C-alpha cells in the first residue's frame, strides 16, 4: 500500500506529465498553423499574378513578421496572433492587381476563413483578421488592440529597416526618375516613421537617421 507522500508524489508527476503533454500539443498546433500560413503566403508571392514580385515575401512580409514578434515579446502581446497577422497582412495584395486597393479587407476575410477552416480557434482567428483589417495607415481606422498596434508599427518598421523594398517600389513599380524616386522614398519613410509606437522608434531610430542623411 502506498503512503500518502508517495501517492502525492505520483499524482504530482502524473500532473506534470499531463501539463508537459498539453503544452507540447499547444506548441505543435501553433507551429503547424504558422507553417501552413507561411506556405500559403509564400505560394501567393510566387503566383504570376503578384505584381510586386516574389521579393515582397522575404523583403517585406518576413521583415514585418520579425518586428511583430520582437514587439510582441517586448510589450507582452500575443506573439502568435502578431506573427499570423504579419504573415497575412499583405497576403491579398499578392493575389492580383484587383485586390491591392482594398487588400486589408480582402486579407482579413481570407485570413479568418483560412484559420477557421484549419481548426484555429474562432476568437483568435477574429483577432488576427482584425489586425489585418486596420493595418493600413491610410485608412485612418482606430487600432483597438495591442496586437493591431504592433502590426501597424512592424509594417512601418519594415519599410525603414529594409529600404530595398521601398526603392524597388519607387523605381521598379512606379518607375520614378532618380530625383523623384528619392523624394518619394523619403516621404514614404517619413509617413512610416510617424506611424511608429515609441518602442518601435527606439529600435529603428539609427537606421531612419542614416537613410535621411543619405537620401536628402
CB 178 within 8 A of CB 201: no
The CA radius of gyration of the chain, in Å to the nearest whole number, is 21
155 contacts Fe ion (rule: CB under 5 A): yes
Instruction: Specify the stretch interacting with Fe ion by CB under 5 A; choose among 87-95, 142-150, 163-171, 177-185.
Output: 87-95
Query: What span, in angstroms and rounded, lies between the C-alpha atoms of 50 and 44?
Result: 7
Stretch that binds Fe ion, among 86-94, 119-127, 171-179, 206-214 (CB under 5 A): 86-94
Whose Cβ is closer to Fe ion: residue 103's or residue 125's?
103
Nearer residue to Fe ion within complex by CB, 154 or 211: 154
Q: Which residues contact 46 (CB under 8 A, 6 or more apart)?
A: 54
80 or 90, CB closer to Fe ion? 90
**Residue 152 · residue 137 · CB < 8 Å:** yes
Question: Least Å distance between CB 136 and Fe ion?
Answer: 5
Our CB check for Fe ion shows the closer of 183 and 188 to be 188
Largest CA distance in the chain: 87
Helix (H) or strand (E) holding 158: helix 146-161
Region near Fe ion per CB under 5 A, out of 65-73, 83-91, 114-122, 142-150: 83-91
- Site of interaction with Fe ion (CB under 5 A): 90, 155
Amino acid at each position: 500500500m502506498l503512503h500518502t507522500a508517495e501517492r502525492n508524489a505520483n499524482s504530482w508527476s502524473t500532473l506534470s506529465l499531463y501539463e508537459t503533454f498539453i503544452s507540447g500539443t499547444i506548441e505543435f498546433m501553433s507551429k503547424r498553423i504558422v507553417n501552413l500560413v507561411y506556405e500559403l503566403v509564400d505560394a501567393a508571392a510566387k503566383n504570376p499574378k503578384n505584381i510586386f514580385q516574389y521579393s515582397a515575401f522575404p523583403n517585406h512580409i518576413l521583415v514585418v513578421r520579425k518586428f511583430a514578434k520582437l514587439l510582441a515579446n517586448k510589450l507582452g502581446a500575443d506573439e502568435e496572433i502578431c506573427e499570423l497577422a504579419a504573415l497575412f497582412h499583405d497576403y491579398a495584395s499578392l493575389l492580383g492587381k484587383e485586390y491591392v486597393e482594398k487588400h486589408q479587407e480582402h486579407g482579413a476575410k481570407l485570413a479568418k476563413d483560412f484559420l477557421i477552416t484549419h481548426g484555429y480557434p474562432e476568437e483568435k482567428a477574429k483577432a488576427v483578421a482584425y489586425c489585418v483589417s486596420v493595418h493600413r495607415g491610410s485608412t485612418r481606422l482606430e487600432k483597438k488592440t495591442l496586437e493591431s498596434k504592433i502590426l501597424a508599427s512592424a509594417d512601418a518598421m519594415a519599410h525603414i529597416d529594409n529600404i530595398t523594398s521601398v526603392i524597388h517600389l519607387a523605381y521598379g513599380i512606379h518607375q520614378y526618375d532618380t530625383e523623384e524616386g528619392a523624394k518619394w522614398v523619403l516621404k514614404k519613410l517619413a509617413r512610416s516613421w510617424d506611424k511608429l509606437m515609441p518602442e518601435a522608434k527606439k529600435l529603428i531610430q539609427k537606421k531612419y537617421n542614416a537613410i535621411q542623411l543619405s537620401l536628402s
